[in-house]
Chain A
């Protein structure tokens, strides 16, 4: 028979006033399997805890019930005490006779009766409790950072500086992301490349950072501390080890008129190219879609010219595997597609703005390149159609964002600021020019942000119209912008030389597929879901996977950087311990009785249940079964409820324990 000890607390008068603790104690002494029952004034006090410890030892107790306050208050306290006396802490239960009994009832008889029942339930449970040990998960102290924009670079450097290795995967030929292409940044108007490129170089050269540029994450398996990541290294046709980055190949390449991705189509690049001068790695890649050698075995000039012999036309995609313990997702954003094809049927473009039809209607990132000192025009503002300097530019904000009819309800957050910046950059380059801005509201919350917008309007003379633009047409070489000034209540038509559309930020292409590989959530717009919007802003629902930057929501550079550092600190916290310990109260599957219907696999909110196979030594399949990944399971028990054969169960709340509790009420 069990040897259970019951310890009933008076909690001073808190319990004893309403519950007759002596009577409860007497009743407990009559319960089967109860070896001893004691009451004491303050069970959580040192003498109280000592009493528990002494009795565990003297009565050789194999289970303890402390009847006092809520387990949310003192379960850990008493379990520690039990452990101190050599009892497995999971063999101690609490009976909540304070919050859920003495504090809510007046009738002493009935409260005493209820308290006895509550203890009885706990005694029934503790008899079936099993000794548990915390789950220890080894940690691979190495982080994967997906995305090499400013957030990814920041996260990589922070983790690396904390002393842990980092694998940084960037889809494009160079890290730097969108920020590398920006001209100047608000609200300080400091040069974007001047701040970013040193960080890029640092990341590229950091002894603890392994950079995979022009690579993508193919598959992710495992769980916190133990991820295995397969990375696709796309064929670059340039041997990175041999290449010195001299750039001779770019010069000899005859196919020079390809739209530059980095310049958002505002400039041209050859078929073999380094995306921009400060690229990291500063080594070229061959565009296989246009290279004559690759397409029809022609040309081959670069190969002949390359002294170190780094050109390799036989190059193929390669898959490499990396083991990491945590993943930081920093995949950034792209702009809402204004007029062209849309990513989903839900989204609608703005055909009325003539984007794609009129050369001088461009989006904000294209404008960044046109005013950037490193841009295709070397910072001289020339409009795309004829290279003339525009004397009048209209900026339209909220293109795509805050417009349910076009598909995106959210505010893109940074456009007000960069549009103000654009008007200033324009004014600084074209002193006689006039900037016009159509806006819905001006959202300038941030340090020195409102002041910045006021400067654009008051010092640099930008004309702001609160209203929408209905149509942009081209007449006689001018763009006619028809809109409304709702403050004045009049329609406005502006003759412009150029129109710049502040398109909304959307998550980068492919982020949903990546989220599925990582088992993390994303919202209806494709932004990745944080675990808790306030308390766990960089964690996801998959332990060990963190998010930062614009892949989580539209945000500006300082916010992205702050979030990246937050994610890095979470990585460092995970890596600080020798091994991860997790509460053992999680699910397990009886693989012998599992029928492999995989209802649990479909239901688990954490994707913690996996399909597994049991094979004989010969390799022959014996049976298939569900299996719980201990690194992922959080112990909710939803799998148990859907398991028809109850082959799933959760430690700490086993079927046996729960039914014993219910039956104790018979």
Chain B
């Protein structure tokens, strides 16, 4: 498919996918100025207006905020476990920014490290991601500081490029080709990304060397300890395992969790190794720029800026990391 798609054609394409029984997730203007990813009832709901950041991320397609793992029933003679019916049908994400898709290969690693997470993998295998190259950015965006850009192909099965109100598609994987056929080979002209705002290597170095620096506590005084940053982040993937019980029946589920909650590291003894909010902020930065790259070779951040954009206290990765003193100049 080399011809450009009009908005209508794109919506019609989405409608076709929906009609074929697939779940299509795309940006929707839920309230004026508030763009969120949600399952589309029809292609008409798809937001294709001027560049705008989304509030949430597409990670829910592979890691739902609440996912039943199995059910159980306590009997007279023991406990019976019952698998949940396989929930993941074929799912397509459409018109996500590249920073959303870029998180998926990063997540694949942690979910297939010492144990292949079948729940994650099942959803991941059934997921196709069609991104929309960014035509603009805002003050919170910093993809270029973490090695990505407005048209990074990482994690995308196909990508749409908007030119003059129409969309050109390129495909990168078989999944992408299944959706768009053979698309254009040439990449259309790209838009500028945000300027490089910090050096990721410096963040890593600082977090490691200055682990005990007062910097962390001083710069996170405003942190309220909620989970917004983690929950809107495309790459944060921490979860909690809970049992919900009704009488002698119940289920085990995994729910999102966030390192900014004091409870996150609270031991049964009452001891908490991360006593202060500063310790928790440090954890978030160090995990993204230090621990994860060391273990998996990837920065656990795609520069989407959603954390800072949604933080009720004006914090987030960028505001925190740009406070780190750095003697060296930034480079593009």
Does a CB–CB distance below 8 Å link A and B in the complex?
yes
**What is the distance, in angstroms, from B234's C-beta to the closest C-beta of chain A?**
34
Instruction: Scan residues 582-622 of chain A and give those whose CB is less than 8 A from a CB of chain B.
Output: 592
Bound: A485/B183 CA distance, A:
116
Tell me the bound Cα distance from A33 to B246 in angstroms. 15
Q: Which residues of A contact B75 (CB under 8 A)?
A: 32
Q: B164: CB under 8 A from chain A?
A: no
Taking the complex as formed, is A29 at the interface, i.e. its CB lies under 8 A from any CB of chain B? Answer: yes
**B21 contacts the other chain (CB 8 A):** no
Please tell me if the beta carbons of B76 and A30 are within 8 angstroms of each other in the complex.
Answer: yes
Asked whether B76 lies within 8 Å of A666 as measured between CB atoms, the reply is: no
Complex contacts, B74 vs chain A, CB 8 Å: 32-33
**A124 in the interface (beta carbon within 8 A):** yes
Tell yes or no: A425 within 8 A of B by CB. Answer: no
B248 sits at the interface (CB 8 A): yes
| CB-CB under 8 A for A663 and B270, given A29-B76, A32-B74 | no
Query: Is A137 an interface position by the 8 A CB rule?
Result: no
Contact A124 B76 (CB under 8 A): no
Q: Chain B residues with Cβ under 8 A from A592's Cβ?
A: 270
Q: Is there a chain A Cβ closer than 8 Å to B249's Cβ?
A: yes
Q: Closest CB of chain B to A392's CB: distance in Å?
A: 85
Q: Which residues of chain B have C-beta atoms less than 8 A from A665's C-beta?
A: 247
Q: A32's contact among B246, B248, B270, by CB below 8 Å, is which?
A: B248
In the complex, are the beta carbons of B247 and A663 less than 8 A apart? yes
A120 to B270, CA, bound (A): 35
Please encode chain B, from 57 to 89, with 1 for each CB lying within 8 Å of some chain A CB and 0 for all others: 000000000000000001110000000000000
Fill in one digit per residue for A10-47: 1 if any B CB lies within 8 Å of its CB, else 0.
00000000000000000001111110000000000000
B208 is an interface residue with CB less than 8 A from chain A: no
Question: Are the CB atoms of A666 and B270 closer together than 8 Å?
Answer: no
> Is A664 in contact with chain B by the CB < 8 A criterion?
yes
Interface of chain A, main secondary structure: loop
B230 to A: closest C-beta gap in Å: 24
Closest to B73 in A: A32
Across the interface, which residues of A come within 8 angstroms of B245, CB to CB? 663
Distance (Å) between the CB of A24 and the closest chain B CB?
16
B250 — nearest CB in chain A belongs to which residue?
A: A663
User: Which A residues are in CB contact (< 8 Å) with B76?
Assistant: 29-32, 34
Which residue of chain B has its CB nearest to the CB of A665?
B247
Using Cβ atoms and an 8 Å threshold, which residues of chain B touch A31? 76, 248
B249 neighbours in A (Cβ, 8 Å)? 666
- Check A664 against B270 for contact (C-beta < 8 Å): no
Closest to A660 in B: B247
CA distance A497 to B245 in the complex (A): 88
Taking a contact as CB atoms closer than 8 A, the residue among A34, A120, A666 that contacts B246 in the complex is A666
Give the chain B neighbours of A30 by CB distance below 8 A.
76
- A309–B248 alpha-carbon span in the complex (Å): 84
Q: Tell which of B74, B247, B248, B249 has the most Cβ of chain A within 10 Å.
A: B247
Identity of the chain B residue whose Cβ is nearest the Cβ of A30 in the assembled complex: B76
Q: A120 to B75, alpha carbons, bound, how many Å?
A: 14
B246 partner residues in chain A, CB cutoff 8 A: 663, 666
- Interchain nearest-CB distance for B155 vs A (Å): 42
Tell me the bound Cα distance from A663 to B247 in angstroms.
Answer: 5
Chain B residues near A663: list those with CB within 8 A.
245-247
Name the B residues within 8 Å of A124 (CB-CB). 247
The closest CB in chain B to the CB of A592 belongs to B270
Q: How far, in angstroms, from A30 to B75 measured CA to CA in the complex?
A: 8
Give 1 or 0 for each of B124-166: 1 = CB within 8 Å of chain A CB: 0000000000000000000000000000000000000000000
Residues of chain B contacted by A120 (CB below 8 angstroms) = 247
In the bound complex, CA of A9 to CA of B286 (Å) = 65
Most buried by B among A32, A33, A124: A32
How distant is A616 from chain B, measured CB to nearest CB, in Å?
A: 16
Cα(A34)–Cα(B74), bound, Å = 12
Rounded to whole Å, the gap between the CB of B18 and the closest CB of chain A is: 36
| Bitwise interface map of B from 263 to 297 toward A, beta carbon under 8 Å scored 1, else 0 | 00000001000000000000000000000000000
Chain A residues near B270: list those with CB within 8 A.
Answer: 592
CA–CA, A537 to B262, complex, Å? 53
Q: How far is the CA of A34 from the CA of B247 in the complex (A)?
A: 14
Which B residues touch A664, using CB under 8 A? 247
Min CB–CB distance A86 → chain B (angstroms): 25
B83 to chain A minimum Cβ distance, whole angstroms, is 21
Q: Mark B232-250, 1 if CB is under 8 A from A, else 0.
A: 0000000000000111110
Tell me the minimal C-beta distance from B262 to chain A in angstroms.
Answer: 12
Q: How far is the CB of B304 from chain A (nearest CB, A)?
A: 35
Find residues 75-114 in chain B having any chain A CB closer than 8 Å to their own CB: 75-76
Q: How far is the CB of A2 from chain B (nearest CB, A)?
A: 10
Within 8 A of B (CB), among A463-490: none
**Nearest neighbor of B270 in chain A, beta-carbon distance:** A592
- The CA of A173 and the CA of B249, in the complex, are separated in Å by 74
Cα distance A31–B76 in the bound complex, in angstroms = 6
- Shortest Cβ distance from A661 into B: residue: B247
Residue of A nearest to B77 (CB): A32
Distance in angstroms between the alpha carbons of A120 and B76 in the assembled complex: 13
Give the one of B75, B248, B270 with max A CB within 10 A.
Answer: B248
Residues from chain A with a CB closer than 8 A to the CB of B247 are: 120, 124, 663-666
Q: Which residue of A has the minimal Cβ distance to B75?
A: A32
From residue 240 to 266 of chain A, which have CB atoms closer than 8 A to chain B? none
Please, which residue of chain A has its CB at the minimum distance from the CB of B245?
A: A663
Tell me the bound Cα distance from A592 to B270 in angstroms.
Answer: 9
Question: For the complex, what is the distance from the CA of A663 to the CA of B74, rounded to whole Å?
Answer: 14
Q: Could you tell me the distance between the alpha carbons of A124 and B74 in the complex, rounded to whole angstroms?
A: 13
Within 8 A of A (CB), among B4-38: none
Residues on A with beta carbons closer than 8 Å to the beta carbon of B248: 31-32
Measured between C-beta atoms, what is the minimum distance from B75 to chain A in Å? 6
Chain B residues near A29 (CB, 8 Å)? 76
Contact with A along B298-320 (1 / 0, CB 8 A): 00000000000000000000000
For chain B residues 168-198, which have a beta carbon within 8 Å of chain A?
A: none
Distance, CA A592 to CA B268, complexed state (A): 13
Within 8 A of B (CB), among A611-666: 663-666
Cα A666 to Cα B270 with chains together (Å): 33
A663–B249 CA distance with the chains assembled, in angstroms: 10
User: With the chains together, A596 CA to B325 CA distance in Å?
Assistant: 41
Q: What residue of chain B has the Cβ atom nearest to residue A664's Cβ?
A: B247
Most buried by A among B75, B76, B245, B270: B76
User: Which B214-254 residues sit within 8 Å CB-CB of chain A?
Assistant: 245-249
The minimal Cβ–Cβ distance linking B74 to chain A, given in whole angstroms, is 4
In the complex, A30→B74 CA distance in Å? 11
**With A and B bound together, what is the CA distance between A585 and B52 in angstroms?**
59
Within the complex, the shortest CB–CB distance from A61 to chain B, in Å, comes to 15
Query: Which of chain B's residues have a CB closer than 8 A to the CB of A32?
Result: 74-76, 248
How close is B271's CB to chain A, nearest CB, in angstroms?
A: 12
Min Cβ gap A665→B in Å is 8
* Whole-angstrom distance between the Cβ of A657 and the nearest chain B Cβ: 14
* Alpha-carbon distance between A359 and B209 when the two chains are bound, in angstroms: 96
Cα-based distance from A22 to B178 in the complex (angstroms):
64
Alpha-carbon gap, A29 to B246, bound state (A)? 20
A 395-420 to B, binary, CB cutoff 8 A, 1 in contact else 0:
00000000000000000000000000
B89 to chain A, nearest CB (A): 29
Give A29 to B75 CA distance when docked, in angstroms. 11
Complex Cα spacing A9 to B165, Å: 80
Query: Which residue of chain B has its CB nearest to the CB of A31?
Result: B76
CB distance from B242 to the nearest CB of A (A): 15
Q: From residue B320, how far is it (CB to closest CB) to chain A in Å?
A: 29
Task: Tell me, in angstroms, the Cα distance from A31 to B248 when the chains sit together.
Answer: 9
Given A32-B76, A124-B247, A665-B247, 18 extra CB contacts under 8 A: A29-B76, A30-B76, A31-B76, A31-B248, A32-B74, A32-B75, A32-B248, A33-B74, A34-B76, A120-B247, A592-B270, A663-B245, A663-B246, A663-B247, A664-B247, A666-B246, A666-B247, A666-B249
Residues of A within 8 A of B (CB): 29-34, 120, 124, 592, 663-666
A-B contact pairs, 11 of them (CB 8 A): A29-B76, A31-B76, A32-B75, A32-B248, A33-B74, A120-B247, A664-B247, A665-B247, A666-B246, A666-B247, A666-B249
Nearest 3 A/B pairs, CB to CB: A666-B246, A32-B74, A664-B247
